[in-house]
Amino acid sequence: MPNEKTKDVEVGGKRYRVGRFNPRDGSWVAFLLMTKALPAWIGDSLVSDMGLPVGAGQKPELSEADFKNLQDHCLRLCFEYTSAEAPPIPVLMADGRFSDPEMDVSTALALTTHAMMFNLSSLFQGGAVKMASAPAVASR
C-alpha cells in the first residue's frame, strides 16, 4: 500500500520497522539509483530499453562515498524491535555507528534493500519511470 508509513520486516530472525523517506530524500535516492547505481548494475543497453538516461558511452559508477551516503539514508529509516514492551531503536545511531554491535553485512544490506523497495517500488509499477522520463508537454 502506498500510504503505509511503516512496514515491519524480519531479517536474520530479528524484527525491524522500516519508515518512509521524506519527498526530497526519496527523490535524491531514486535519482541516484536510476542514474548511477542501476546502470552500473544492469548495463547501458537494459537501462536504455527501460527509457532511463544513459551516460554517453561511459559506464556509470557508484563511488564508495555515494554508496555510504545512500546506505546511511536507508538505514536511518530502520528501527529494531528489541522487546515487545519497548519502542524500536534506530539501527544507525546519530554518530554513524550501528546500535547493534553484532550487525553483519547481510543484515545491513537486507535492511538497505527493504528501505529502498518499501520507498521506491511504486516508481517501477505501472510505468511510472517511463512517465517521469517522458518529454514534458507545454500547456497553453
Q: Which three cell numbers stand for residue 4?
A: 503505509
- The parts of the chain modelled with pLDDT lower than 50 are 56-57, 127-140
* 91 in a structural domain: yes
Residue 140 lies in a domain: no
Domain membership flag for residue 139: no
**Burial class for 131, CB neighbours closer than 10 Å (0-12, 13-18, 19+):** exposed
Residue 68: the pLDDT is 93
Range of the domain at 38: 7-133
Task: Let me know if residue 2 belongs to a domain.
Answer: no
pTM: 0.74
pLDDT on residue 32: 85
Residue 1 resides in a domain = no
- Our count of domains for the chain comes to 1
Nearest CA to 63 among 55, 75, 71? 71
Q: Is residue 65 part of a domain?
A: yes
What cell numbers appear for 137 in the block?
Answer: 508537454
For residue 136, the model assigns a pLDDT of: 46
